[in-house]
């Protein structure tokens, strides 16, 4: 029985060290819970000393407690299993959290910013515009006769066009510009530190490049499209915005860009208009 008790204590010690190693290994992916996790790992390491003490006592006195050896082995084993399971739960939760964050940040189809994210970042740019005194431009793009593409070639072809257009626009716009999908075939671009003349130049370059480009679909079709673009400008010196919050200002700018875009459509499509 003495030999079995010694083996149980050795097992308890090894299991305790294993639980400690698992806790320290999980440190890299527990994110904001790292402080609590490192305290847990240190606590488990200190408990390993409790597994050594009975072995020393047996060696010095020859006496042992078989029930204590069994409990020590069970507790350490349960700690290993518990830390392993909790680590897996935390890791899975972190991965799901990252996937959810990506879904909220990017449009699932085009992988440009989602409506919520482009509005959130747009408010930040508005605040920066207020501080710097530089104007900010908002462009709204809408694909002309997009319904005809879906009707004639199918929704998959329409999805391919949306993805191709999104990547095309990202290549033309600057890194500091924001670009997102706000619904259906409508997109918005927010251009920091941009005057009305510069915004018109960017919008016209987008319009011409999109018109000249052919968009390949998964069925090896090459489709051509045009867009109508509405432009509006935010100026920090504009008194009409003085009592509005950033979200209210941005909503107003988007509405203005939307009106300008419909004005471009009413004038014949494949053109730009300002508000």
State the number of CA atoms in the 13 A half-sphere of 138 facing the CB.
Answer: 28
Q: What is the CA radius of gyration of the chain?
A: 31
What whole-number distance in Å separates Cα of residue 103 and Cα of residue 113? Answer: 10
Spot the catalytic one: 101, 185, 204, 211: 185
Task: Check if 185 is active-site.
Answer: yes
DSSP letter string, 208-269: HHHHH-EEE-TTS-EEE--EEEEEEEE-TT-GGGTTS-HHHHHHHHHHHHHHHHHHHHHTTS
> Rounded to an integer, what is the distance from CA 191 to the centroid of its chain?
21
DSSP state letter for 33: G
For residues 180-193, b (16+ Cβ closer than 10 Å) or e, as one string?
A: bbbeebbbbbbbbb
CA atoms within 13 A on the CB side of 16: 22
Cβ–Cβ under 8 Å, residues 199 and 92 = no
Do 18 and 79 form a contact (C-beta atoms < 8 A)?
Answer: no
* Residue numbers annotated as active site: 185
């Amino acid at each position: 029985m003495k030999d079995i008790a010694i083996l149980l204590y050795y097992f308890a010690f090894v299991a305790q060290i294993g639980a400690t190693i698992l806790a320290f290994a999980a440190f890299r992916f527990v994110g904001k819970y790292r402080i609590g996790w490192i305290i847990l790992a240190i606590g488990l390491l200190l408990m390993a000393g409790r597994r050594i003490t009975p072995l020393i006592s047996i060696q010095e006195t020859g006496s042992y407690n078989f029930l204590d050896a069994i409990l020590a082995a069970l507790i350490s084993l349960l700690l290993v299993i518990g830390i392993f399971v909790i680590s897996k739960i935390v890791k899975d939760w972190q991965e799901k959290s990252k996937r959810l964050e990506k879904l909220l940040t990017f449009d699932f189809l085009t992988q440009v910013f989602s409506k919520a994210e482009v509005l959130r970042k747009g408010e930040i740019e508005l605040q920066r515009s207020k501080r710097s005194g530089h104007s900010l431009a908002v462009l709204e793009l809408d694909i002309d006769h997009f319904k005809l593409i879906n009707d004639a070639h199918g929704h998959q072809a329409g999805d391919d066009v949306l993805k191709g257009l999104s990547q095309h626009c990202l290549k033309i716009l600057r890194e500091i510009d924001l670009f997102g999908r706000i619904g259906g075939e409508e997109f918005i671009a927010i251009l920091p530190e941009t005057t009305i003349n510069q915004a018109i130049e960017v919008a016209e370059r987008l319009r011409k490049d999109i018109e000249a480009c052919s968009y390949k679909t998964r069925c090896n079709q090459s489709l051509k499209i045009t867009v109508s673009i509405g432009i509006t400008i935010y100026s920090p010196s504009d008194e009409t915005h003085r009592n509005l919050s950033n979200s209210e200002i941005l909503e107003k700018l988007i509405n203005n860009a939307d009106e300008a875009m419909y004005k471009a459509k009413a004038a014949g499509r494949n053109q730009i208009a300002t508000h």
